Amino acid sequence: MSRTVELTVRQALNIAQNSPSGQIDPQILRLLESSLAQIWRNIQAQPNTYVMNDLEFAVFNHFRARSDFQNETARKAVSRYWNSRNARQNH
């Protein structure tokens, strides 16, 4: 009987961030890419209002250097995340 280990996005991100060589297992990369694509769709669907949660931001930030995210929509999404986080911490 084979056992399949189901990784969560949080676990996959942790593994990717702690990879000493920078090489990411293809299965982990697929999971993170899928999550990133959904996050970006959410941002694009609500470009002026969508606020990422902490996990979404962590995934997005991991890939932030990509040219696809070097634009005003991405910059504003990151800014909204930090503004929201600061507001939560001040309450």
- Render pLDDT for 4-47 as a digit per residue (tens, 0 to 9): 557 899 999 999 999 988 899 999 999 999 999 999 999 999 99
The verdict on residue 60 lying in a domain is yes
Residue carrying structure tokens 């504003």: 76
Q: How far is CA 19 from CA 23, 43, 55, 64, 86, in A?
A: 7, 28, 19, 17, 30
Residue 65: domain span:
48-91
pTM: 0.87
The verdict on residue 80 lying in a domain is yes
The verdict on residue 12 lying in a domain is no
The verdict on residue 62 lying in a domain is yes
The verdict on residue 70 lying in a domain is yes
Q: φ, ψ for residue 64 (rounded to 5)?
A: -55, -30
Check residue 4 and give its pLDDT: 53
The verdict on residue 5 lying in a domain is no
Sign of CA pseudo-dihedral 64, 17, 40, 55: negative
Helical segments of 18-91, H only: 26-45, 54-62, 72-89
The verdict on residue 79 lying in a domain is yes
The verdict on residue 90 lying in a domain is yes
Q: Give how many domains the chain has, as a whole number.
A: 1
